[in-house]
Structure 1
Amino acid sequence: MNSATIRSRGFAGITATRWPASAIFPTATDEHKETDVGQIIWIASYPKSGNTWTRAFLHNLFRDPKLSFNINEMTLLTANEAAASNFAEFDSRPWEEWSLEDVARIRPQVQAALAGSRLHTIFCKTHLAVLKVRDHPTINLNVTAGAVYLVRNPLDVAISYANHQGLPLDRLIELMNLPNYETPNMEGLVNEPMGSWSQHVQTWTANPNPGLLVMRYEDMLASPVKAFSDLAKFLQLDAPRSRIERAVKNSSFKVLRKQEELHGFHEKTAAQENFFRSGKAGEWKDVLSEEQVAAICNAHRDQMARFGYLPEGF
């Protein structure tokens, strides 16, 4: 895929809007008029950067259960934009017959339908970069209210993503460094143009916007209550600290991993032994070779420097 086919769009041009927290889970008394159109708040990230953790926190914050909310029911709050079932609404052929052009063409309609499925706001998980692909935008800004973008040190991402995909580290690093990289259509999931790691980060974060919150995975690990309190504030949720602390506890790595051990997790790939594998920061120091570190740093120097990820010597 060449640069003439995929062009950077940048996360710009949206207007921050107020989204009623009560609308996330509409009650039976809500009146949904035909003229009402919801909007999407994206939970966006390069893979293995804290997306699942963030969605688990939001579920526990909104539901406020005594015990951790079921990780296999997260689609009740956060839709997966790339789910093939969303696209099947617009193309009834078997997914194996869909071309990448078909997916690119349908994608804005899928996102509009997801937005329209709720009275006010819907959270959508995505690993898309903000690009124009085959003359179609990956992100439909007309139905976008805002976004939470999660960024993680690519040196650690490489280890976790290689495990997730069942690929050798060297091959995964090649894919992370590949401009305009796209995942293929596969059973249950459609193609996602992600670009390289730097391309992904740049398209979401290069243009500061009041409708965009950028969260570093490492800050979430170091101070989860503060990080998720900032998220609640960004979403204009008047949540007491005790409720945030409870949601943080119920979405901790330890709790999520225990849930997976007991009940499984439908987002785990066939290549993985566990979806919730480590969740640590700095694992790369013990796992990656000098050559692998150099390959990542040399490819992503500018964006790594922006977020404090560049090791000494680079």
Structure 2
Amino acid sequence: MGNIVWMASYPKSGNTWVRAFLHNYIADSETPSDINNLGDFFANESNASWYKPLVDNDLQQLDRKTICQLRAKVQQNIAASRRGTIMVKTHNFLGAYEDVPLHDMSITSGAISVVRNPLDVVLSLADHFGLDTDQAIEFMGSDNTGTPTDDNNVASVLASWSTHVESWTRDQSGATCVLRYEDLLDEPHTHFAKLTQFLGLPDDPKRLDRAIEHSSFSKLKNFEEQSGFVERSPNSSRFFRAGRKNQWSETLEPTQVQRLVDDHREIMSRFDYIPPANR
């Protein structure tokens, strides 16, 4: 068994929020942790800095398969970079690209999978990637979906929202902690405590209260407004948008809701995301 715990999610599903909570819980400070210092406790397996030493040419000149072939070495280097458990952010689905595994399971000890209603994901994702809503719906429904290599990150292989979520939540061994974004909003103490227990962190109610408060959406949004956020997309004016559930009901057209349900019915049903009118 390895020492990597994957912090996995489809983009715009709450990965950053969960990392901010854990950053505050681990730091256990009277003041909120700097969201631009998440790298103190978490690695990002797609960060270009891990890949540049392995190649002679510009990463952006490499095709997706070549990038994926570098991932095993990168992940081994990440695992070796720290003693003990290291939590590593990933947006790749749990599988292979052209027969090349996207995650080295030999150095993996577990995973945290954050799942969010795709009806809300599509709104944040459209803003993040500079798409209109219909383009974002198509993006989320394709198993060929991925992101390109840029100055900061190498290409990711996302697959569709359904394929991605199913891949990270199928484990029945107890090695994966599955968190619904909506549960974290509705009952933060219950579900963030589930996360700290999964990771074997100290059980401390006051520490939990403080970490939840320090990582509240309003605090994160204010921090970004004052200091910026390194993970903000150049396509968007801000990373932290609204942080609410059911935003879709105010924005999506009925035909758009139906398209998403048609594309993702099985997994949406499993996580109780299908609106009554579309059942």
Structure 1 length-normalised TM: 0.87
State the Cα distance separating 1:98 from its structure 2 match.
1.7
- Structure 1 match to 2:57: 93
Q: Which runs of 5+ in 2 are unaligned?
A: none
For residues 152 and 62 of structure 2, the distance between their equivalents in structure 1, rounded to whole angstroms, comes to 13
Q: Which amino acid aligns with 2:45?
A: E
For residues 89 and 244 of structure 1, the distance between their equivalents in structure 2, rounded to whole angstroms, comes to 39
State the Cα distance separating 1:89 from its structure 2 match.
2.3
- Structure 1 match to 2:140: 176
- Structure 2 match to 1:10: none
Alignment equivalent of 1:138, drawn from 90, 96, 102: 102
- Corresponding position: 1:72 with 2:36: yes
State the Cα distance separating 1:176 from its structure 2 match.
0.1
What SS does the corresponding residue of 1:303 show, helix, strand or coil? helix
- Structure 2 match to 1:30: none
- Corresponding position: 1:45 with 2:9: yes
- Structure 2 match to 1:26: none
For residues 30 and 225 of structure 2, the distance between their equivalents in structure 1, rounded to whole angstroms, comes to 20
State the Cα distance separating 1:160 from its structure 2 match.
0.7
For residues 101 and 151 of structure 1, the distance between their equivalents in structure 2, rounded to whole angstroms, comes to 27
CA contact (8 A) 1:104 1:134 kept: no
State the Cα distance separating 1:168 from its structure 2 match.
0.4
State the Cα distance separating 1:100 from its structure 2 match.
1.4
- Structure 2 match to 1:238: 202
What SS does the corresponding residue of 2:171 show, helix, strand or coil? coil
Structure (1/2) with the larger helix percentage: 2
State the Cα distance separating 1:95 from its structure 2 match.
1.6
- Corresponding position: 1:149 with 2:113: yes
CA contact (8 A) 1:44 1:127 kept: yes
- Corresponding position: 1:214 with 2:178: yes
- Corresponding position: 1:111 with 2:97: no
- Structure 2 match to 1:81: 45
State the Cα distance separating 1:305 from its structure 2 match.
0.2
- Structure 2 match to 1:32: none
State the Cα distance separating 1:153 from its structure 2 match.
0.3
Q: Which runs of 5+ in 1 are unaligned?
A: 1-14, 16-37
For residues 3 and 208 of structure 2, the distance between their equivalents in structure 1, rounded to whole angstroms, comes to 24
Q: Which amino acid aligns with 1:290?
A: P
CA contact (8 A) 1:159 1:284 kept: yes
Dislocated runs of 4+, deviation >6 Å: none
State the Cα distance separating 1:183 from its structure 2 match.
1.5
Alignment equivalent of 2:21, drawn from 57, 64, 82: 57
- Structure 2 match to 1:19: none
State the Cα distance separating 1:273 from its structure 2 match.
1.4
Structure 2 length-normalised TM: 0.97
- Corresponding position: 1:187 with 2:156: no
For residues 255 and 171 of structure 2, the distance between their equivalents in structure 1, rounded to whole angstroms, comes to 32
State the Cα distance separating 1:308 from its structure 2 match.
0.3
CA contact (8 A) 1:44 1:149 kept: yes
- Corresponding position: 1:282 with 2:257: no
Any idea what the Cα deviations from partners look like across 1:83-126, whole Å, max 9, x if unmatched? 11111121132122222121111101111110110111111111
For residues 64 and 183 of structure 2, the distance between their equivalents in structure 1, rounded to whole angstroms, comes to 36
Alignment equivalent of 1:199, drawn from 163, 169, 172: 163
What SS does the corresponding residue of 2:147 show, helix, strand or coil? coil
